Every structure is written in C-alpha cells, then in structure tokens.
Structure 1
Amino acid sequence: MKADITKICIKYKLTDSEEDVLRFIIENIETIENLSIRSVSNTCYCSTTVVMNLAKKLKYKGYSEMTQKLKEELLGKQEDLNKSNSFLHTFSDFSNLKKENFIKILTQHKKEAIYIIGSGFCEPIAKYIQDKLMLLRFHSFFTWHRENYINPHTEKPLLICISKSGETSYITELAKFCKEHNYSVISFTNDKNNTLKNFSTLTFSLFDNAVLDEQNSVSNSFYPNVLFLFEYLIGCYLEHHKLEIPDSY
C-alpha cells in the first residue's frame, strides 16, 4: 500500500529514520504482523529504539499495538466503505443538535461576512459552498488573504473550513486566529482527532476511508460527501426559515 505521509511526519516531528520505518510498515501493512520489531529495524537499517520512538510519537504503547492499529485503520476502512450502503455511515458524529447549531450559526451570520477556505481537492468544494451561499444572499467570500481575517468586512465574521486531514497549517492557523478573536468557525474534516477540530465552534466529521491518501489517488468518499452533507444542511436551513432559493442575479 502506497501513502503520502508528509503531514504525519510534520505533525509528529518524525526523524528521517522514523519516517522510513513508518513508510515500510504502511507499504507492507497486510503482512506486518508477521514481522518482528527486530526484522523491521534490520530491514530499515535502524535500531529497535527508532521503531519504539515512532510508536510513542504516534501515541501507541508499543510496536505490536502500532502495527495492529495501523492495519485495522488502513485495511478496515476500505472494507467498511465497501460494505456500507448508507450515507449516514459517513457522518460519524452527526446529530440533530449539530444540525440545529448549523442553522443557528448561519442565521446569526446572515448579514455578516462568511469566509470559506479549502486547499487542494477541497478548494473547488470551498468555492462551490461560497457560490451557493452567495446565491442565498449571504456575504460569502473565498479568500486566502490573511488581511481579510485581521480586518474583516463585518464585526463578527464566520469562517468555514474544509480540510480532509484537519492538519493543513495555514487553515489551522486561520481557524486558531478566528477562535482567539471570538469568530465562529465551522469545519468539515475527517473522523479522526486533528488540530482543526480544536479551533472549531462546530465540526462535522466525515468518514475517511483513505486517511493517508493525501494525493486522492484511490477511491475516496470524503470529498463528495462534504457536498452531500452541506446541501442537506442548507436544505434544513431553508426549511427552518420556510425559504426558497432565490432566482439568480
């Protein structure tokens, strides 16, 4: 199994040797439980201490737990995706309370600036959300310019972040800035603990069957389901206010 582990290496501050070990484990994930820690260290030309340090940095108790959990995570996710026939399976923590909070926050920001941001494959999704909100007469902007957040167009803006990993540094920095200045932050991200969630007023966690696939090189349900969930939430907002989508400009 191939994977882009760049963000993981940055997040956990892995050394080159630790990165080599993690890459080896992932590429041999189907058979890794048959290999001892010494076999892995010998193959990667490092000491067993490097392997143990990697496990500790990734918050595992030891080598055995690390290989077992990674195997469950990487292989189990794909199996779950193949078996799932329900979109509800993809929204791991969705609730009526979150839906109501979304409607409340959006209502509060009807006349406020709404900034939407996303990078990579999340960027076109962010631009779609910006266009949809503009169609509904919200003051929505897709912008990377930090100046807009330092000197916003209105007093209490809203930031909507779309980030599959929840670890894109510029996005998490903007979310942190907004939280520190008491701006509301809504995030759409994966179903793992990540930095973006810590700075969000409201988070929608979506099932991610390919956590380590940062290049979107395999089949992935995360991106289309962000749009699916957003459209559902907008429908709830319109129904709550008994509104219809206005005619185009």
Structure 2
Amino acid sequence: MNPIERISVYYDQFSIAERKTCNLIIEDPQTVIDNPIAEAAKIYDVSTSSLLRVAKRMEYKGYSEFRYALKDWIKEDKNTHNSSNIIHIIESYKSNLDKMYSYIDEKQIIDFISEFPNSRVFTIGMGNSSLPAQQLTYFLFSTGLWSSTIMDSVQLKYLENCLSKDDLLIFFSVSGSVGSYKEIIEYCKENNIRTAMVTMNDSEYLKKSVTYYFLLPMLSIYNPNNNKNFHRIDNRSIFNIFIEILISFYTPQ
C-alpha cells in the first residue's frame, strides 16, 4: 500500500490538525522527499511532532521510512495532480476494478460462502461502512438466509452477550479499525466464533485474528483542480462489487 493509500485509509481517524498536515503532504509530497523533518515542518508551517505523528499513525516506523515510501510512490504516479476531476475519478475506479482480479481468491470465497447456510450471520459496519453491511443483509434475505446488521457501538458492545459458536460475524471497515473492533474480535477468537473482515487495510493483526480476511484495493484521496479541498473517492462501491461477487457463488439450499 503506497503512502497516499495509507493516508486514505486513516484519514477519517486523523484529528483536524493531522488532516491539515496530510493535505499539505498530498499537495506537495516533494517537501517531505527533499527535506529532513525539521525543514519539512518549517516549510509546511506545522510542528515536527505533527509530521512524526502522522507517519506513525499510518504504521511507518518514523519519518524516514515515510519519506522513502513517498519517494518510491512519486516515481510511479507522476500524473496525480495533472488530470481533470472526471478523468481522475473514472480512472481510479477502472484501476481498482482491474486490481480486484488479483485481490480476490475464488477458493476463499467458496469456502466462506459454505459457512452461510449453517450460521447465524451478523453483518457489522460503522458510519459509511454500515451501508455495505446492510447491503449484504438484504442480499442474504433475498436468498432465504437470515442476517442481522449491527451499525452502532452500543449494539456492538453488547453483542458478545448474544453470541454462540454457530455465529458468523462479517465486518466491513475501510480502515480495519483495530480500536473499534479489537474487543469483539478477541472475544470471538477466544470462544471459537467465526469472523470475517472486509477491508482496505493490509493489517497483519487482522490477518491473524479473524477467520476470513478479505483485502480490497483502496480508492485514494486526491486534490481536485483549482480546489484547496481534498476529495476522498467513496470506497463503498468497491464493497458492493465484492458483495455481488460473494453472493454470485451462493446457491440456495
């Protein structure tokens, strides 16, 4: 995952000050590439701690690792700021759809789908991720399978009181937020309750902690022409395409 994709993954979790720093980096990544942290902070007019905090929040070991990652990325994506909004958005979707061929494992999908008929399925998503969670529930209903969607932190907090070994929990999260889901995932792991995570975050913790892990390609933040506000392309469409693929493999019993 390149640095701009990582910014996209964690963007909603950043503070206002951290988002300001991220926006400056996206608009002018060369400042980080060409300068040590003190000089870059001076040029951006932010604190060195803000730059370091952003790098670490994105799971880089420090500023230097982030700096080298940006340098590698800039070589591959020289046209990021030159295309029109229309071209950039359409090309972003096209590129991600092409990437999905290599992200999705058909055997894993088939193994996962085989769990559905004998499970009580909970689809889980917070905020914008609640919409694909609901979408999967509707699809399951249409095939005659029961499902329930969990969409807020209060429901999630008390969910473990209702779970059994026949349950299957399916999480949708762009960021794969460990903070939001760690407690329930750990509970399920300890009690042999199956879990699945559908996310854009390439997280080693999640890979080891859930039964099924589905990584999907991320649509990045970009800077619209003649506009100081940065635009995050909506990733829910990628979730919905994944759900379409998932359900296409299910044959009602």
Alignment of 1:178-217 (within 5 A): 178-193=188-203, 195-210=205-220, 217=231
Unaligned runs of 5+ in 1: 10-15, 245-249
* Identical-pair percentage: 21
Alignment of 1:1-249 (within 5 A): 5=11, 7=13, 24-43=24-43, 44=45, 46=47, 60=60, 63-70=63-70, 76=77, 82=91, 84=94, 87-90=97-100, 92-106=102-116, 110-143=117-150, 144=152, 145=155, 146-152=157-163, 155-167=165-177, 169-193=179-203, 195-210=205-220, 217-220=231-234, 222-238=235-251, 243=252
After superposition, the Cα gap between the structure-2 partners of 1:177 and 1:23, relative to the gap in structure 1 and judged at 3 Å, is farther
Map of 2:83 onto structure 1: none
After superposition, the Cα gap between the structure-2 partners of 1:179 and 1:50, relative to the gap in structure 1 and judged at 3 Å, is same
Unaligned runs of 5+ in 2: 81-87, 224-229
After superposition, the Cα gap between the structure-2 partners of 1:115 and 1:102, relative to the gap in structure 1 and judged at 3 Å, is same
After superposition, the Cα gap between the structure-2 partners of 1:194 and 1:163, relative to the gap in structure 1 and judged at 3 Å, is farther
Aligned-partner Cα distance in 1 for 2:159–2:78:
38
8 Å contact from structure 1 (residues 5, 212) kept in 2: no
After superposition, the Cα gap between the structure-2 partners of 1:121 and 1:64, relative to the gap in structure 1 and judged at 3 Å, is same
8 Å contact from structure 2 (residues 174, 201) kept in 1: no
TM-score normalized with structure 1 length: 0.69
8 Å contact from structure 2 (residues 100, 216) kept in 1: yes
Higher relative contact order (CA 8 A, sep 6+): 2
8 Å contact from structure 1 (residues 165, 194) kept in 2: no
Structure holding more helix per residue = 2
8 Å contact from structure 1 (residues 190, 208) kept in 2: yes
Deviations 1:155-178 (A, max 9, x none): 420001000000163333322222
Aligned-partner Cα distance in 1 for 2:115–2:97:
24
Deviations 1:46-96 (A, max 9, x none): 56x886687567554664431231465588499698374572413553223
Q: How many Å apart are 1:232 and its aligned residue?
A: 1.3
Query: SS of the residue aligned with 1:137?
Result: coil
After superposition, the Cα gap between the structure-2 partners of 1:42 and 1:77, relative to the gap in structure 1 and judged at 3 Å, is closer
**Partner amino acid for 2:97?**
F
Deviations 1:111-136 (A, max 9, x none): 43111110121111111111211222
TM-score normalized with structure 2 length: 0.68
After superposition, the Cα gap between the structure-2 partners of 1:116 and 1:191, relative to the gap in structure 1 and judged at 3 Å, is same
Aligned-partner Cα distance in 1 for 2:169–2:11:
27
